[in-house]
Amino acid sequence: MLNLASFVRESALYYGDKVAVRMGELSFTYQQLDHMSGQVAQFLVDKGIKPGDKVALSCPNLPYFPIVYYGILKAGGVVAPFNVLLKHEEIEYLLGDCEAKAYFVFEGTAELPMAQEASQAFDKVECCESLIVLTADPKSPSPIEGAMTLGQVLAGNSPLKELTYTEPMDTAVILYTSGTTGKAKGAELTHYNMVMNAIVAADIVTDDNFRPHNHTFMLVLPLFHSFGQTVGMNAMFYSGAEITMIPRFDPKQTIEVMLGHKVTVFAGVPTMYWALLNEGKNLPAEKITQIREHLKFSVSGGAALPVEIIRNFDEVFGVEILEGYGLSETSPIACFHQKGRKRKPGSIGQPVWGVEMRIVDSEDKEVPVGEVGEVVIRGHNIMKGYYKKPEATEQAMRNRWFHSGDMGKRDEDNYFYIVDRVKDMVIRGGFNVYPREIEEVLITHPAVSLAAVIGIPHEQHGEEIKAFVVLEEGKETTSEKIVSWCKEKMAAYKYPRIVSIRDSLPMNATGKVLKRELRTIED
């Protein structure tokens, strides 16, 4: 028996009256979190959800996310968290692919009508039988006709008395990660994967002078992403720590919460550190001093962190950034700078406990120290596989090592460095964006004949998405109109902000677009 939801159950026994999660004036203790997640579990059991059934969840960083997340796990279900920015066509595909039996979705806002997008997708997917809306006010009625609300679920159910029995290798979470071949793939992460990775994460933010249950963790990383789930939510609830969150990262609001709640741990992607440094320039010295008094640990992942930001953040806020590396398929932590060990800015640190990493050539043979090759990984953190995609799983897990697709090197101290990303993946603001997926949407535009997408450097987001298009003969449109069209078709982090209309695209003899040449074009 091993169930990821035991983190909440165990912490409720030892830290029952302590605040588990807080957002503004709203907070829940560990006892309340355990009770309400149990109510969600009982509701799902009554709805016929059986161990192994998939339940989707679309929710920004709100206290309702862990209530539903652990409720699904307590019922023996598999959580499938979706990016909150997805449009209904994208949601429809994911619901059908993971065969979700139920779907919890936050109502959203006028600018981001999540429940409306979800409802359109729900109506088209036969396998999904229940739609439950998470309203901002639990007493509010559902904005979707015929859908229940989380408030009704919590008002109408007693909590499930016992955790549903699950084996360590049973799937706990399916995280969707796009591939360079187009459609998103669901990485199946087991209870064993997620439990072990959370324990490793908790250990990273622990030292002899500070125990993790005393932590106040600033959660700005999206909970639908593996980084936020593991390093933030799961690791901190395992430790009995307090999580304070805001729905969406904003540097000014983050600083205010860090001051008001005496935050001890901050985790973010490089663009967040960049924004905090810019915000810090306008802070009075006494506020900087207050943050420095409490902030004990700061960790970064999701993309390479510039050395200059590491140095500046340490200088301003008085805490070193521990940089690490991982992927959705690795739960996510594979490698990290660890407290008490040598710090090497620009490196992603050393493999965490129980995980091995190598740098290999095209024949999967390990290359010498200092040489560049592909990063491969094995250990307790590696996914079970891609859901319903055996060929993709076999390709990724060649010779019993997970092939990351990232190019890197290691030094004589077994510190690893990422030097490039394989193929053409773009990381915009910490989100992985895959050009092929964007290109496939672009060519459905009535005026577009051919499209190629690349990432270009961007000061704030790390990379920005740029599309080169060739129009259909006789058709006319503008770059601005194509950008607007893309905005309606794709999630906000995906659509290209820059579109260049060309007469032709550079190609090799086989007809493949030469993206390396596109990167040299300035217009």
Q: What pLDDT score does 178 carry?
A: 61
Looking at the chain, which residues constitute the CATH 3.30.300.30 domain(s)?
Answer: 426-518
Q: What is the pLDDT of residue 54?
A: 98
Give the integer Cα–Cα distance in Å for 42 and 27.
23
The total of other beta-carbon atoms located within 10 Å of residue 509's CB is 5
* pLDDT in the model for residue 421: 61
Which burial class, exposed, middle or buried, applies to 391 when counting CB atoms under 10 A from its CB (0-12, 13-18, 19+)? Answer: exposed
The predicted pLDDT at position 121 comes to 98
What pLDDT is stored for residue 179 in this prediction?
46
Whether residue 16 contacts residue 245, with contact meaning beta carbons closer than 8 Å, is answered with no
Query: Degrees (nearest 5) of the Cα angle 175, 177, 180?
Result: 165
Distance from C-alpha of 262 to C-alpha of 256, rounded to nearest angstrom:
10
Provide the CATH number for the domain formed by 426-518 in this structure.
3.30.300.30
Q: CATH code for 190-421?
A: 3.40.50.12780
| CA distance to 51, 377, 384, 404, 422, per residue, from 397 (Å) | 26, 9, 10, 9, 16
pLDDT of residue 398: 95
CA angle 333, 339, 340 (to 5 degrees): 140
CATH architecture of 6-189: 3-Layer(aba) Sandwich (3.40)
CA atoms within a 13 Å half-sphere pointing along the CA-CB vector of 95: 29
Cis amide linkage into residue 345, ω under 30° from 0: no
pLDDT score at 510: 36
Q: In whole angstroms, what is the distance from residue 403 CA to residue 146 CA?
A: 45
Q: Is 149 in a helix, a strand, or coil? A: strand
Phi, psi angle pair for 27, to nearest 5°: -150, 155
Is beta strand 373-379 parallel, antiparallel or unpaired with respect to 355-360?
antiparallel
- The per-residue pLDDT for 9 is 97
Which stretches of the chain drop beneath a pLDDT of 70? 178-182, 420-424, 508-512
Determine the Cα angle at 235 with ends 49 and 400, to 5°.
75
Here the tokens at position 58 are 């679309």
Residues 517 and 233: their CA atoms lie apart, in Å, by 43
The answer to whether the CB of 466 falls within 8 A of the CB of 496 is yes
Find out whether 339 and 322 touch, Cβ atoms under 8 Å: yes
Please report, as a single letter, which amino acid is at residue 324: G
User: Where do the H-state alpha helices sit in 232-282?
Assistant: 235-239, 251-260, 270-280
For residue 506, the model assigns a pLDDT of 87
Greatest extent of the chain over all pairs of C-alpha atoms, in Å:
71
Q: pLDDT per residue over 470-504, tens digit each?
A: 898 789 999 999 999 999 999 999 999 999 999 98
Residue range(s) of every CATH 3.40.50.12780 domain in the chain: 6-189, 190-421
What is the C-alpha separation between 292 and 272, in angstroms, rounded? 18
Q: Which distant-in-sequence residues (6+ apart) come within 8 Å of 282 by Cβ?
A: none
pLDDT of residue 411: 97
Using one digit for the tens of pLDDT, what is the confidence trace for 53-70?
Answer: 999 999 999 999 999 999
pLDDT in tens, 392-402: 999 999 999 99
Residue 11 near residue 20 (C-beta atoms within 8 A): yes
- pLDDT at res. 321: 92
Distance CA 292, CA 40 (A): 40
Cross-sheet strand order for the sheet of 373-379:
355-360, 373-379, 402-410, 416-421
